[in-house]
Amino acid sequence: MNTSTRSTARTVGVAVRAMALFTVLLGFGYTVVLTLVGQLALPAQANGSLLTDSGGETVGSSLIGQAFTDAEGAPLPQYFQSRPSAAGDGYDAGASSGSNLGPENDDLVAAIADRRAQVAEFNGVAPDDVPADAVTASSSGLDPHISPAYAEIQIDRVAAERGIPAADVRALVQAHTQGPRLGYLGDATVNVLELNVALDQR
């Protein structure tokens, strides 16, 4: 075996051993360490931020929005409603996407006008009082939040349907309103699933 062949064989041997070592360290060791840290330090987040109802049944994740509708797709009046979703048939986590329609697209303009009229009628408010997030989908189609303004126009309807004071419902909305991140990034939001679970547990 000449020097060139020995050098090549040594290089290949070093590469194979290095690959095996780093596969174990980074492919397995790193994963195990991060999993353990997540389970010990942030177990709820590491397991999907799942929410349960009063019976202990999992009803969803606080990170992924969902629709609160009946079998025919009609909104359930006793629940706060999420914003529209363009993901699949609506809030399909396997088809996350926006509509990709521009603000001057005729179909989008017509859809927004139709949604605005429906939301206004459903909540007993004027069309001008309907905020933008009530009629437009998020870019992912899975946003679990609505604006405090959209929550506000739904309070009287939810309170009436549940037979509870509007002040109590408003207090729940305020309790589930999250301010801007770090105090200045983004806007205040209301997590719809968390709010509806709190209503059911009330």
**pTM reported for the whole predicted model:** 0.78
Using alpha carbons only, how large is the chain's radius of gyration in Å? 25
Q: Do 150 and 136 form a contact (C-beta atoms < 8 A)?
A: no
Domain boundaries, the chain: 3-44, 50-201
Backbone angles phi, psi at 10, to 5 degrees: -65, -40
DSSP reduced 3-state for 45: helix
Per-residue pLDDT of the chain (202 residues; tens, 9 = 90+): 567 777 787 888 888 888 888 898 888 888 888 888 877 776 667 777 777 777 778 877 888 889 999 988 899 999 999 999 888 888 888 888 777 788 888 888 999 999 999 999 999 999 999 999 999 988 888 899 999 999 999 999 999 999 999 999 999 999 999 988 887 788 899 999 999 999 998 8
CB 52 within 8 A of CB 58: yes
